[in-house]
A and B are shown apart, each in its own frame.
Chain A
Amino acid sequence: MNMLEIKGLRKRFGSIEVLKGIDLSLGKGEVLSIIGSSGGGKTTLLRCMNFLETADSGEIMVNGKSVYHACEGEKPVVTPEAQLSFGLVFQQFNLFPQYSVLENLMLAPKLRAKRKSTIGKRESMEEIRARAEELLATVGLTDKADAYPCQLSGGQQQRVAIARALMLSPEILCFDEPTSALDPELTGEVLRVIRSLKDSERTMIIVTHEMEFARHVSDKVIFIADGVIAEEGTPEEIFDHPQSEKLQAFLSHSQKE
Chain B
Amino acid sequence: MEQFISITLDLLNGFGETLTIFFVTLLLALPLGLLIAFGSMSRFKPLSALTRGFVWVIRGTPLMLQLLVVYYGPGLVMGQILLTEAYAVYLTFTINYACYFSEIYRGGIESISRGQYEAGKVLGMTKGEVFFKVILLQVVKRIIPPMSNEVITLVKDTSLARVIGYYELIYFAQRYSKNAGLLWPLFYTAVYYLVFTALLTLLFRWLEKKLDYFKT
**Known: A90-B115, A97-B138, A111-B133. Contact between A52 and B214, CB under 8 A?**
no
Q: How far is the CB of B88 from chain A (nearest CB, A)?
A: 40
Q: Are B133 and A107 in contact (CB under 8 A)?
A: yes
Note all chain B residues with C-beta closer than 8 A to A150.
214-215
Q: Are B122 and A87 in contact (CB under 8 A)?
A: yes
Note all chain B residues with C-beta closer than 8 A to A115.
126
Binds B, one of A8-16, A78-86, A191-199, A237-245: A78-86
- Which of B122, B129, B133, B216 is packed against the most chain A CB atoms within 10 Å? B122
The answer to whether A254 has its CB under 8 Å from any CB of chain B is: no
Q: Are A98 and B138 in contact (CB under 8 A)?
A: yes
Q: How far is the CB of A59 from chain B (nearest CB, A)?
A: 20
Q: Which residues of A contact B (CB under 8 A)?
A: 50-52, 80, 83-84, 86-88, 90, 92, 94-98, 107-108, 111-112, 115, 148-150, 164-165, 167-168
**Total A-B Cβ pairs within 8 A:** 62
Please give 11 more A-B residue pairs, beta carbons under 8 A apart, in addition to A52-B122, A97-B216.
A87-B122, A90-B118, A92-B113, A94-B116, A97-B214, A107-B123, A107-B133, A107-B134, A111-B133, A167-B123, A168-B123
Note all chain A residues with C-beta closer than 8 A to B121.
51-52, 83
Residue of A nearest to B129 (CB): A111
Q: Are A165 and B115 in contact (CB under 8 A)?
A: no
The answer to whether B79 has its CB under 8 Å from any CB of chain A is: no
Q: How far is the CB of B159 from chain A (nearest CB, A)?
A: 38
Q: Are B118 and A52 in contact (CB under 8 A)?
A: yes
Residue of B nearest to A118 (CB): B124
Note all chain A residues with C-beta closer than 8 A to B215.
97, 150
The answer to whether B137 has its CB under 8 Å from any CB of chain A is: yes
The interface residues of chain B, by DSSP majority, are classed as helix
Note all chain A residues with C-beta closer than 8 A to B213.
148
Which chain B residues in 80-132 approach chain A with CB under 8 Å? 113, 115-116, 118-126, 129
**Known: A97-B214, A98-B138, A150-B215. Contact between A111 and B118, CB under 8 A?**
no
Q: How far is the CA of A27 from the CA of B116 in the complex (A)?
A: 31
Q: Are A50 and B124 in contact (CB under 8 A)?
A: no
- Which of A86, A95, A111, A164 is packed against the most chain B CB atoms within 10 Å? A111
Residue of A nearest to B115 (CB): A94
Residue of A nearest to B122 (CB): A88
Residue of B nearest to A148 (CB): B214
Q: Are B137 and A98 in contact (CB under 8 A)?
A: yes
Which chain B residues in 176-216 approach chain A with CB under 8 Å? 211, 213-216
Q: Are B122 and A98 in contact (CB under 8 A)?
A: no
Q: How far is the CA of A88 from the CA of B119 in the complex (A)?
A: 8
Residue of A nearest to B126 (CB): A115
Q: Are A94 and B214 in contact (CB under 8 A)?
A: no
Note all chain B residues with C-beta closer than 8 A to A94.
113, 115-116, 118-119
Q: How far is the CA of A96 from the CA of B136 in the complex (A)?
A: 11
Residue of B nearest to A88 (CB): B122
